[in-house]
Amino acid sequence: MVNNDNAEKAPRKVVNKLSERTRNFERTLLINTAINRKFNITESAAEMGISRATYYRKLGKDGLRELEQMRENLYEEASSMIELPE
């Protein structure tokens, strides 16, 4: 008799791996689009053909925090390169 437990579990692992990779790819695409659009979410969403609400939902809270941190780091780095007169 063939053990059907292994046969049933294998496809689910592949699907989970595929859906995880798809989410990671989509998240990377969302973040890169925002960076290219100077963190303008309205323009980023329009470029991708989705609404701002969908953009935020797909990015998720963690992605939004990461994007905000990247923006802050970029502005800090830029401001440190500028010497202000005293």
Confidence at residue 36, expressed as pLDDT on a 0 to 100 scale: 94
Q: 52-81 vs 4-36: helix axis angle to the nearest 10?
A: 50
- Alpha-carbon distance of 59 to 65, in angstroms, equals 10
Confidence at residue 85, expressed as pLDDT on a 0 to 100 scale: 64
pLDDT tens for residues 57-80? 998 888 888 888 988 998 888 888
pLDDT tens for residues 11-62? 666 667 888 888 889 999 999 999 999 999 999 999 999 999 999 999 888 8
**Is the separation of the CB atoms in 41 and 56 below 8 Å?**
yes
- Alpha-carbon distance of 42 to 77, in angstroms, equals 24
* Predicted TM-score of the model (pTM): 0.68
- Alpha-carbon distance of 18 to 24, in angstroms, equals 10
